[in-house]
Structure 1
Amino acid sequence: MATAIVSLFNKKVGCPSSQDLLDYDQACLASAHSLCIEGHLIDCDFCNAELQLLNRYQNTRDEYSFVEMPLQLRGLAERLLHNTATPFQASRRFKENRRT
């Protein structure tokens, strides 16, 4: 019976994040960090495959801006929340929303 050595093809603890791989590919990293990732790619088949996949399917980064909720809509949402939630839940949600 032959025994095959099987290694798991997955991301390891020491692997750079997907965002770091993208930043490396787009030359957005500091040179020291870039060299570290470059050295990692020499030995890591998974990260090489991930980088190829990210390059193939990379989207342009969409920039979104958040706007304030119109006061009438906010009032409606608060009234609806007040009618469906317990008073404690509604007041907690209101306080959390005021902080953001």
Structure 2
Amino acid sequence: MADTLIEARVTGKVQGVWFRAWTREQAVALGLRGWVRNEPDGAVRALLVGPEATVKRMVDLLHQGPDRARVDAVETRSATIAADGESAGGFEIRR
């Protein structure tokens, strides 16, 4: 079965509260691939790649976030992998 690819944009108090590290920890525990990064506007963006049910579980977790975060919204959309194989393996924190 093909992987599901979702790009998520999380807004609220999500920078400076360990959101990226928490996201990576959750994604690795679930066996997902992809990345997470801070956006200039204060949001956090993530690419989640894996089985559909697992990606949906991660999106649910993003609505909660780590203890110090305040999540106002999580917007998701289908994504595609760029030719550089940006989700080839593992889950990384990007700058």
* TM-score (structure 2 length as normaliser): 0.27
Report which structure shows greater RCO (CA 8 Å, sep ≥6). 2
Looking at secondary structure, tell me which structure has more helix per residue.
1
Q: Which structure is larger by alpha-carbon Rg, 1 or 2?
A: 1
Looking at secondary structure, tell me which structure has more strand per residue.
2
* TM-score (structure 1 length as normaliser): 0.27
